[in-house]
Amino acid sequence: MSVIYAIDIAGTFAFAISGALVAIRKKFDVFGVLIIAFVTAVGGGMTRDVLINAHPINWIGDINYIWTILTAVVVTFLFRSKIAPLRKTMFLFDTIGISVFTLLGVQKGLSFDLHPFVALVMGMSSAVMGGVIRDVLTNEIPLIFHREIYASACLAGGIMYLILTPLHMNEDIQFIISASIIVIIRTIAVQYKLELPRIKKDVFGK
C-alpha cells in the first residue's frame, strides 16, 4: 500500500465520519446516516469519474472504499461522544484528505488528456463535491459557498501541481509540495477565520 493510497483511505474515513455526524445531528435514521456518509466520502470522486467517463467509478473499482465508509459509520455510532474532542485530529485528516483528493483528481484528469484547466476543475470537484452533495441532501447551504477558504485552497494546490508538472521532478516530491500548499492555506484560513470577500452591494450603486 502506497503512502498516498493510505492517506486517501484516511481522508475517506474522515469524510465519512463528518457526513455521519451531520446526518445524526439532523436525526436521520440508520440508512440515512449511511447514505450521507457515503456521498460525503466518495461523492466528489464519483462526480469526477462520471464527468470524464472514467470506469470503473472510484468506489466500484475498489471495495476498500466501501469497507472504510461502513467502518466509519459504525465508529461514529459507537463513539460519537468521544469523537467531538478529536475535532483537531479530524480536521487534520479532513484537510490532508482534500489535498490528496484534489491532486488525485488533477492527475486523473491529465491521464485522460484533458486540458490542464479542466483537470484542475476535476481536482476541485473530487475534493469538494462530496461536501456539497451532503449539504444539499441535509438542507444546508454548502460550506464552500459561504464559509472558510476551502475550494480556493484546493485551487491553489492544483495550480502548483500543474506549474511543477513541466519540470519533470520526482512525482512524490511534486505531490507533497502541492498537497502542502493546500494544507497550509486551509489551516491558516481556519486558524485566523479568513474568508473570501462577499458581494454586499452594487459596486457602482449609491
Q: Average pLDDT for residues 164-169, to the nearest whole number?
A: 92
Q: Give a yes or no: residue 15 inside a domain.
A: yes
The 8 Å CB, 24+ separation contacts for 91-96 are: 91/190, 93/10, 93/11, 93/13, 93/14, 94/11, 94/14, 94/15, 94/18, 95/182, 95/183, 95/186, 95/187, 96/7, 96/10, 96/11, 96/179, 96/183
Q: Confidence band (pLDDT; 50, 70, 90) for 34?
A: very high
What pLDDT does 202 receive?
Answer: 64
Number of separate domains in the chain: 1
Over 70: is that where the pLDDT of 205 sits? no
Q: Give a yes or no: residue 25 inside a domain.
A: yes
What pLDDT does 42 receive?
Answer: 96
What pLDDT does 179 receive?
Answer: 93
Give the integer Cα–Cα distance in Å for 51 and 62: 19
Q: Give a yes or no: residue 204 inside a domain.
A: no
Q: Give a yes or no: residue 135 inside a domain.
A: yes
Sign of the CA dihedral with 42 first, then 140, 147, and 93 last:
negative
Tell me which residue range forms the domain holding 178: 3-191
Over 60: is that where the pLDDT of 206 sits? no
Least confident of 33-42, 57-66, 86-95, 186-195: 86-95
What pLDDT does 6 receive?
Answer: 85
Q: Give a yes or no: residue 197 inside a domain.
A: no
Q: Give a yes or no: residue 97 inside a domain.
A: yes
Residue length of the chain: 206
Share of the chain above pLDDT 90, in %: 63
Give the integer Cα–Cα distance in Å for 24 and 76: 9
Q: Confidence band (pLDDT; 50, 70, 90) for 84?
A: low
Instruction: Quote the pTM value.
Output: 0.87
Q: Give a yes or no: residue 200 inside a domain.
A: no
Q: Give a yes or no: residue 202 inside a domain.
A: no
Over 70: is that where the pLDDT of 1 sits? no
